[in-house]
């Protein structure tokens, strides 16, 4: 057992091994904020009360309350499509007392000053846990890896006029992330890490959170590099206390949520909502749309695309990318019926008209829907392009125009077992390659293991010095708007032209219309 003294007490971790049998030290379930329960529900994170004696940190702690799906979940759909049986699936515990983090480190020598990689998990800001990601493969290569749990869904992204009066505008999950980054500043040296070299990285909602950190004034000095995997947050347009691109404010959404839960609107509604159990709130709101990240004028001052284009982001290097077929198992036309947004061609066309406005004719030529089959194919492609690919390129363009450092990638590896080509390089597939593990698909082929090794080296090089390039790796050039290229990650890694650039231009017209409405 290994003990470390941090600012709130002593923690005792354990030794784990990488696939190659290299020992790494693991510290799990370290509290970085007080339990957000009772009067602290929906409040900004508060300090941890110090403990006496030695705290057991040999196992993960509880994850944020959420709807737990087995059969029919995203992971299950992927496994079925690939005819893949994940080995020893872990069972997680869930509780409102969830603000914990985990540390994987190859050394506890303070003088080592190893680069720190701070992972924010995905899950649409409604699901997921930092405890699902094995960190020993990255840590054995010379970094300190931190993974966190943060509040999710209606408990982690809820605004309310009474809550604003208490001093918290919402975006609790982002405030949790910032609080965990502050913990890193105070304590990571005790785990061999360098507090002045912290890379925040995440995927999907975690990628959105990464960009939120990249653009938030509150993270200045807490992060020194950022890696956003399939997540920008360009669609984050709901305003705190007035309508905009979304016709109701976040305050309105919070009051409507309270009424739906049976709590009378008006003075005292928030207190009544705090009397409900976390499970009741999660279960009853399972089918309700939750706004996620909002523009609160504090943590998120404006839409992240606006902040980046105005040059008001943190002046740090950024790596950003997306996957080739993000929409194959996600949202529109999804194999998961409960997540399908467009049920028929008429709905699809109406949504396109709303989204693109005067650019509708140009857009529908690129994403046609003459019948149901074509609509499903186009909607999957549109999902990936609008949520991930087009905003990724737009961010790279904006930063390049400012002379800032940005390394964009495009992951196109096809999973083994996808014999009919239904999934392709699906959403979140790259995570296993970054972590060197069989996360959603097995790294069973030599080509998969080789690509994983290269990606881990790119990611660690970037976390070390802000440049992913290194000996034996194909050259990864910074983005240049004239060249309009990104690094393609597959069996043949190299810089490639952005083939769908003209489509992305059209998609960004629709996105920019809604961003403009949010700025009014």
Measured CA to CA, the distance from residue 406 to residue 519 in angstroms comes to 26
Contact (Cβ atoms closer than 8 angstroms) between residue 208 and residue 237: no
Question: Which position among 44, 96, 140, 326 bears the catalytic label?
Answer: 326
Count CB neighbours of 374 within 10 A: 14
388 DSSP assignment: I
Among candidate residues 63, 131, 159, 204, the one labeled active-site is: 204
Helix, strand or coil, per DSSP, at residue 236: coil
Nearby residues of 472 by Cβ (< 8 Å), 6 or more positions away: none
Rounded to 5 degrees, what are φ and ψ at 382? -65, -35
Crossing angle for the helix pair 501-518 and 345-356, to the nearest 10 degrees = 70
Q: What is the largest CA-CA distance in the chain?
A: 68
Task: Assign residue 409 a region (left: φ > 0; alpha: ψ between -120 and 50; beta: otherwise).
Answer: beta
Q: Which alpha helices (H) appear in 244-389, and where do they start and end?
A: 250-260, 269-274, 278-284, 304-309, 345-356, 360-366, 372-384
277 is catalytic: no
Half-sphere exposure of 470 (CA within 13 A, CB side): 16
Q: Roughly what angle, to the nearest 10 degrees, separates helices 345-356 and 372-384?
A: 40
**Catalytic-residue membership of 427:** yes
Containing 186, the helix (H) or strand (E) segment is helix 172-187
User: CA 420 to CA 454: how far, in whole Å?
Assistant: 27
Which listed residue (160, 235, 313, 427) is catalytic? 427
* CA gap 30, 400 in Å, rounded: 39
Active site residues: 204, 326, 427
């Amino acid at each position: 057992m290994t003990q470390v003294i941090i600012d709130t007490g002593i923690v005792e971790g354990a030794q784990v091994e990488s696939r190659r049998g290299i020992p790494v030290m693991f510290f799990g379930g370290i509290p970085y904020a007080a339990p957000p329960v009772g009067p602290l529900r929906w409040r900004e994170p508060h300090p941890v009360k110090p403990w006496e004696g030695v705290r057991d940190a040999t196992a993960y702690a509880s994850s944020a309350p959420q709807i737990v799906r087995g059969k029919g979940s995203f992971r299950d759909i992927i496994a079925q499509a690939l005819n893949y049986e994940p080995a020893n699936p872990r069972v997680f515990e869930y509780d409102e007392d969830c603000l914990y983090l985990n540390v994987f480190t190859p050394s506890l020598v303070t003088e080592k000053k190893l680069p720190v990689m701070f992972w924010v998990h995905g899950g649409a800001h409604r699901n997921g846990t930092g405890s699902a990601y094995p960190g020993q493969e990255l840590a054995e290569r010379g970094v300190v890896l931190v993974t966190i749990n943060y509040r999710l869904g209606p408990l982690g992204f809820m605004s309310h006029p009474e809550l604003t009066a208490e001093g918290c505008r919402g975006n609790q999950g982002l405030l949790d992330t910032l609080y965990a980054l502050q913990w890193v500043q105070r304590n990571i040296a005790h785990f061999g890490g360098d507090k002045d070299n912290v890379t925040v990285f995440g995927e999907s909602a975690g990628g959105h959170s990464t960009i939120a950190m990249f653009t938030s004034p509150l993270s200045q000095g807490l992060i020194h590099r950022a890696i956003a995997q399939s997540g920008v947050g360009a669609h984050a347009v709901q305003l705190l206390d007035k309508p905009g691109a979304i016709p109701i404010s976040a305050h309105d959404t919070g009051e409507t949520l309270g009424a739906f839960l049976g709590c009378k609107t008006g003075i005292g509604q928030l207190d009544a909502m705090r009397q409900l159990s976390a499970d009741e709130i999660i279960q009853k709101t399972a089918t309700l749309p939750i706004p996620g990240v909002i523009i609160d004028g504090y943590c998120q001052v404006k839409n992240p695309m606006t902040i980046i284009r105005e040059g008001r982001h943190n002046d740090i290097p950024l790596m950003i990318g997306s996957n080739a077929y993000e929409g194959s198992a996600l949202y529109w036309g999804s194999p998961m019926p409960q997540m399908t947004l467009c049920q028929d061609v008429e709905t699809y066309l109406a949504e396109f008209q709303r989204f693109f406005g005067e650019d509708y004719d140009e857009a529908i030529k690129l994403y046609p829907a003459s019948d149901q089959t074509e609509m499903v194919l186009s909607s999957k492609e549109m999902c990936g392009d609008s949520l991930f690919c087009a905003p990724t390129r737009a961010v790279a363009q904006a930063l390049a125009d400012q002379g800032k450092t940005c390394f964009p990638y495009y992951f196109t590896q096809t999973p083994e077992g996808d014999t009919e080509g239904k999934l392709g390089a699906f959403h979140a597939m790259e995570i296993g390659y970054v972590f060197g593990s069989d996360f959603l698909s097995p790294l069973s082929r030599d080509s998969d293991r080789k690509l994983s090794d290269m990606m881990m080296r790119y990611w660690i090089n970037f976390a070390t010095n802000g440049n992913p390039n290194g000996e034996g790796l194909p050259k990864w050039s910074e983005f240049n708007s004239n060249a309009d290229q990104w690094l393609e990650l597959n069996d043949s890694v190299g810089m490639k032209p952005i083939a769908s650039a003209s489509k992305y231009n059209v998609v960004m017209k629709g996105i920019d219309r809604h961003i403009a409405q949010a700025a009014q």
